[in-house]
Amino acid sequence: MRANSGMPIRHSQMLVLEILCTMPGPHTPMMLADLGYVSRVVSPDDGRSVIILPTKKGRKLYLEYLATNQRLLSDLSQKMGIKKFESLIKLISLANKYLAE
């Protein structure tokens, strides 16, 4: 659910923070790059900075993640039936609306 939680960071940033807080550290861009899903690149704007970009492997994994989510939603709608699935989507949308208030 996309709730306006009042947090000062985006959900994606919170996920990175969760990794940093729950996995033994310290963490560096190099350690992230060692996973093979991101690469470290010298910033073209500031040669003193390092930026992190997704690798081909990282982009492929992300696309697989999206496809898996789509399959799960499709499976769920088939198992629930379209009418119940649409009701679920409407209820989730309503919950998001209430949380955003």
Q: Which residue has the tokens 């470290």?
A: 40
Select from 21, 51, 12 the least CA-distant residue to 33. Answer: 51
86, pLDDT greater than 60: yes
6-56 per-position pLDDT tens digit: 778 777 777 778 888 888 777 777 777 788 888 888 888 888 888 888 899
pTM over 0.75: no
State the Cα–Cα distance between residues 86 and 84, nearest whole angstrom: 5
> Other C-beta atoms within 10 Å of 91: how many?
10
**Tokens describing residue 17:** 């923070």
Contact 53, 62 (CB under 8 A): no
| 35 compared with 5, residue with greater pLDDT | 35
**Tokens describing residue 97:** 């609306």
